[in-house]
Amino acid sequence: MKKILMGIILLATSCYLYADGGETRPATKAEKIFTRTVLETISGAVPESFAGFDRRDTTEPYEPEDMGVDIERWPLNVGFYGNWVNDELELEANEKMQQIADTITGDINTSPKMQALMEKKDQIEAKMEQAAKNNDLDAIGRLAKELEAVAKEIDKGYAPAVDAIPSEDYYKIHTGIRVNTLTDEYSQSLVKEITPVKGYKTLYYHDTEEGENKRTDRVIIFMGDWSSSIDNGVYIFKLNKKNLPHTTVQSYVIAVEGKKEYTQKFIDNLNWEKLKGIMK
């Protein structure tokens, strides 16, 4: 069955310099207060609920114990992540998945065509096992191609049911809000600029890949003083950082993943004034 990928599906993340094992030092009082204040502010700016979606599994405010040495040379990164779930739609999705499972175990598996394909697959596998015992490499190669062809036919038989399985964006919104990210990059083939949200540069991300590896659509909003360019088919964003203490909010990158009609409702319910209130 189709794998359901979560928002990280997807999102690019920022991390402290010491994440790869670099030298650390104790966090200062200012860094602790900054981190907690930023997370409390974002937590208060995102909606508790909207359009039947309720807040779940969001980042809790905390104070870091350690920081990377020399971290004060750059604006301090903070990340907030969370999910909003529509219980009614999730129940509907689960019912659909059960119906599809019943179809696979019933109509598809018991169809004469599928049974014939499965029997052929078993026969080829038995021949391959015998060829392996005889060290008959030519026969193994030929049978492998036959097995691959049969496997493709079997996949075609299951494809309509598998494709009908609802993905998580049917009932879930995932949001990531990154503070003080310095750079961000996206393939030009996957994103397009759309009408700015609240005057901020905004991208719409749509993965053109099909199948289980397809990533969820998302809206990406860049708050702050950003420069953007395109180089070799890649959108490149760079924060024009100001000469301010590193414990200052200079930017947000807000990524909201899910169906377009739901992501828009989430954006409409954000408290933008609260976010702007701590940004310099």
> Are 159 and 179 within one domain?
no
Q: Is residue 1 situated within a structural domain?
A: no
> Are 66 and 25 within one domain?
yes
Query: What's the farthest any 2 CA atoms get from each other in the chain?
Result: 75
Q: Is residue 213 situated within a structural domain?
A: yes
> Are 158 and 264 within one domain?
no
Write out the residue range of the structural domain in which residue 124 sits: 92-163
Predicted pLDDT of residue 210: 65
**Torsion of Cα atoms, 216 then 221 then 222 then 227, to 10°:** 80
Predicted pLDDT of residue 272: 98
Residue in the structure block whose two tokens are 């860094």 = 31
> Are 101 and 53 within one domain?
no
**Partners of residue 158 on adjacent β-strands:** none
> pTM of this prediction?
0.76
Consecutive 10-residue averages of pLDDT for the chain (280 residues)? 35 38 90 98 98 96 96 96 95 82 76 87 92 91 91 82 74 96 94 95 86 77 96 95 96 95 95 97
Domain's final residue, options 134, 163, 192: 163
For residues 84-120, one letter each, b for 16 or more C-beta atoms within 10 angstroms of the residue's C-beta and e for the rest, the string is: bbbeebeeebeeeeeebeeebeeebeeeeebeebeeb
Predicted pLDDT of residue 168: 80
